[in-house]
Amino acid sequence: MKKPLATITATASYLPERILSNHDLEQMVETSDEWIVTRTGIRERRIAASDEYASTMGAKSALAALQKANVEPGTIDAIIVTTMTPDFLCPSTAALIQHQIGAMQAAAIDVQAACTGFLYGLSIARAWIESGAYKKVLVISTEKNSSFVDYQDRNTCVLFGDGSAAALVEDGGPGYAIRHICLGADGQQAALFTIPGGGSHSPASSETCSQGQHFMKMEGREIFKHAVRRMEASAKECLDAVGMQEADISWLIPHQANIRIIDAIAKRFAIADERVVRTIQKYGNTNSSTIPIALAELDREHAPKEGENLLLTAFGGGLTWGSAIITKVSS
């Protein structure tokens, strides 16, 4: 009996209409377009409307992916949502999306691994497919960062944008075969990126609100030090696991957090500039959805060829990190 092969058979993304440019931010906080572009590579980002949420954006990208694959929502076995900006602490954003898209036969869970979330979600989907537990799994990464950004803090407000993307994972078929995924974490460095208020450790109160504890807090320089090293190590681990060399990589899709991190990873793996997928200049850091947004854009605009290998690699709060190798297949 043929062993199931987990394959991404369709991808789609959703970006809100509103654009917040660097010039707009100049009117809101002490910063400049030159300062932002030089240090991050970001020129603009998308901001969700007041009636758009992680769930509604995720539902839109999910439905687009299902339409692309010609798959009915009622045939989906499971929904995995990766987000660090959920609609609510409870219920799960996955359950909300399940209802919104009409996938009433699907199990639904949220996964929180910050910016590495998509790779964590993809690893779960792969395990479910290849174990035979499920045949059709939706992995949806969706973030409304604007709800958790302090627009008076120039160190964070210039970085983040909103958006979502979805990937349908099935047992075989044309698309991107998931060859291997490597994941890691280091909770000792948890304080480098946090949303301190609102959980059981620091429940919401007038004090947590007045102290801005419900906004993202990050130590950018320290995170940078870890990011390149961890992403490089996990990527090499992935390549070794499938017996590939660096020259076998056709496309690099790194987490879109900072142009310097992206360029450093590309240089370390000697990947040509035109083979590095960059969306950071348009969308900023959309946390767990950066990689699937970039994958959907690559698939739509460049259509990788049969046999081409894609390296996905990410790093995020937790700290978490991971890499994946996926290969374009026709069946």
pLDDT in tens, 216-232: 898 888 888 899 999 99
Please tell me whether residues 11 and 128 are part of one structural domain: yes
Q: Residue 115 catalytic?
A: yes
Determine contact, residues 149/157, Cβ cutoff 8 Å: yes
Q: What is the mean pLDDT of residues 113-141?
A: 97
Q: Residue for token digits 């377009």? A: 33
Asked whether the predicted pLDDT for residue 1 surpasses 80, the reply is no
Out of 157, 180, 182, 255, which one is annotated catalytic?
A: 255
Out of 22, 115, 182, 258, which one is annotated catalytic?
A: 115
What residue numbers bound the domain in which 133 lies? 6-178
Gap between the Cα atoms of 43 and 288, Å rounded = 20
CA 62 to chain centre: 14
Q: Which phi and psi (to 5°) does residue 133 adopt? A: -65, -40
Please tell me whether residues 314 and 196 are part of one structural domain: yes
Gap between the Cα atoms of 122 and 230, Å rounded = 19
Q: Which residue among 144, 160, 178 closes a domain?
A: 178
* CATH assignment of the domain containing 127: 3.40.47.10
Strands 249-254 and 309-316: parallel
Instruction: Report pLDDT digits (tens) over 144-164.
Output: 999 999 999 988 999 999 999
Please tell me whether residues 103 and 79 are part of one structural domain: yes
Gap between the Cα atoms of 299 and 238, Å rounded = 22
Assess if residue 265 is contained within a domain.
Answer: yes
Q: Residue 90 catalytic?
A: no
Determine contact, residues 288/118, Cβ cutoff 8 Å: yes
Out of 22, 145, 258, 285, which one is annotated catalytic?
A: 285
pLDDT, residue 212, reads 87
How many C-beta atoms surround the C-beta of residue 25 within 10 A? 22
Name the residue with higher pLDDT: 218 or 319.
319
Instruction: Report pLDDT digits (tens) over 296-305.
Output: 999 999 989 9
Q: Residue 157 catalytic?
A: no
pLDDT, residue 155, reads 87
Its pTM surpasses 0.85: yes
**Number of structural domains, the chain?**
2
Q: What is the mean pLDDT of residues 132-150?
A: 97
